[in-house]
Amino acid sequence: MNIIYKTVLKGSYYTAIDKNQIDYQIDSLICIDENGQIANIVKPNNGDYEKIHHEAEQQGTLMALTKDQVIMPGFIDLHVHAPQWPNAGLALDRPLYEWLDQYTFPLEAKFKDADYAHLVYDNLVETLLANGTTTALYFGSVDNTGNVELVKACLDHHQRGFVGKVVMDNPAQTPDYYRDESAQVALDETEAFIHQVEQLNKNEKIPVTPVITPRFLPSCTDEVLAGLGQLATKYNLPIQSHCSESDWENGYALETHGQRDAAVLDDFGLLTDKTVMAHGTLLNDEDLDRFKNRGVGIAHCPISNVYFGNAVMPAKKILAKDVKVGLGTDISGGFDPSIYQNIRQAIMSSRMLDEGVDSKLSPELRGQEDAAITARNAFYMATVGGAQSLNLTTGQVKVGYAADLQIVHTKYPTFGHQEPEDTFDKMMYQTTAAEIDHVMTQGIFVK
């Protein structure tokens, strides 16, 4: 019996096997079915190779890559503040409180306007896809008018979107013009948003997932945190927030609750195996053990951590502990929409952690030994780590996985033979949106 595939990609590919190893396969046939799943991967030495190749050619479903192109999994961005997109690259030299009060909150408040939200979100989703990001976990705004436009943009562009209505009801830590009126209003609006997303998802191939989203501990009352934990259980939904992202936030938790950030969130039922916590630069061993036991994922945002994180997140240590961890751009605390840029910064930051930065200290005291990560570690976080954090069967070129893929060409000539592992390293360091030729989500070409 002949199996007709919707699309057959012929080319070489890279995919992460585990946190340290990358698999490279040459001239394979990646066979994608009608549901957008990778149904078969046929290697050149397989007896069916020529037959499947010929049939796909006859059916017009074969897409043959050029010699300088490779296939890789699409990236998963675990932390995007969608309404902050117009501010990317703005005011990053200001302290956090000024950045929030003078730039961020006034911008987010504009998303009551559906037309403005549509304009921004249509461009944001398209830009992220162009940069190889097939899945994104989004913070929306307080106002559901804008959040609905973000859901529509994900659906229109076929991005695998996770979207949360931001909850912030604490009058002591939020501006009067941009906050939930009360804990009850915040909970009612969150539940209303869940139902709106359900309606928008009808008949969609790639549905959007609503996400329970307390902004962070200081912006939320205990009443709203407790209610959000109950809603997450009631609807079996993912949860996202920030945790131990700065000295100020850490100190706030200890001062107001007498516990660390992670413990407080746990008490309210907000640490589950569907939770992703952003930044975590100041998580200690107890926090990391708690995350591992609860199945919590971490969104490592290396670019924005440079500006607002007060420390370097020890990515290698967290990987070694088998805590789920992926990468996030943290637009607009992160100025660049590219996960490739965050792969590079993750490696650079880890090298600085490893070797230290204070020249007044002697070399043996200056750094944190064995803290440096590799391009393979960072690629794993961008793909497999992100997928695990969101409990998705994607992030790998593998049979049974969603065909969320990017086709990339090498930026510079090699001037001679180059081993596949060397090509991989160069692509991690050199790729920009200009080198990403095609992007596919659930088997649908979106670039």
Instruction: Give the pLDDT score at 4.
Output: 85
Gap between the Cα atoms of 178 and 184, Å rounded? 16
pTM tops 0.85, yes or no: yes
Gap between the Cα atoms of 231 and 418, Å rounded? 53
Residue 203 backbone zone (phi > 0: left; psi -120 to 50: alpha; other: beta): left
List pLDDT tens digits, range 394-444.
999 999 999 999 999 999 988 989 999 999 999 999 999 999 999 999 999
Contact 178, 164 (CB under 8 A): no
- Give mean pLDDT, residues 137-157: 98
Q: What are the DSSP E strand ranges found in 17-159?
A: 22-32, 38-42, 62-64, 69-73, 75-81, 133-139
pLDDT at 97 over 90: no
Instruction: Give the pLDDT score at 243.
Output: 97
List pLDDT tens digits, range 103-135.
999 999 999 999 999 999 999 999 999 999 999
Contact 400, 393 (CB under 8 A): yes
Q: Is 358 exposed, middle or buried (0-12, 13-18, 19+ CB in 10 A)?
A: exposed
Gap between the Cα atoms of 68 and 436, Å rounded? 12
List pLDDT tens digits, range 291-331.
999 999 999 999 999 999 999 999 999 999 999 999 999 99
pLDDT at 1 over 60: no
Burial readout 204-213 (b: 16 or more C-beta within 10 A, e: otherwise):
eebbbbbbbb
Gap between the Cα atoms of 114 and 152, Å rounded? 11
Gap between the Cα atoms of 194 and 202, Å rounded? 13
Q: Is 27 exposed, middle or buried (0-12, 13-18, 19+ CB in 10 A)?
A: middle
- Give mean pLDDT, residues 40-61: 95
- Give mean pLDDT, residues 56-63: 95
- Give mean pLDDT, residues 32-61: 95
Residue 443 backbone zone (phi > 0: left; psi -120 to 50: alpha; other: beta): left
List pLDDT tens digits, range 246-277.
898 889 999 999 999 999 999 999 999 999 99
DSSP state of 140: -
Instruction: Give the pLDDT score at 70.
Output: 98
Q: Which of 76-90, 231-245, 357-371 has the lowest mean pLDDT?
A: 357-371
Angle of the 420-430 helix axis to the 339-355 helix axis, nearest 10: 100
H helix runs in 158-273, sequence order: 183-200, 222-235, 247-257, 261-267
Q: Is 71 helix (H, G, I), strand (E, B) or coil?
A: strand
Instruction: Give the pLDDT score at 307.
Output: 94
Which residues neighbour 36 within 8 Å (Cβ) at sequence distance 6 or greater? 6, 205, 402, 403, 441, 442, 443, 444
Distance of CA 335 to the CA centre of its chain: 15
Q: Closest by alpha carbon to 333, among 84, 45, 164? A: 84
- Give mean pLDDT, residues 172-198: 97
Gap between the Cα atoms of 207 and 310, Å rounded? 37
Distance of CA 160 to the CA centre of its chain: 11
Which tokens in the block code for residue 33?
A: 């079915």
Instruction: Give the pLDDT score at 3.
Output: 80
State the CB neighbour count (10 A cutoff) for residue 419: 9
H helix runs in 321-419, sequence order: 339-355, 363-366, 375-380, 386-389
Gap between the Cα atoms of 262 and 26, Å rounded? 45
Q: Closest by alpha carbon to 32, among 5, 54, 59, 62? A: 5
Question: What is the average pLDDT score of the chain?
Answer: 96
* Residue 96: pLDDT band with limits 50, 70, 90: confident
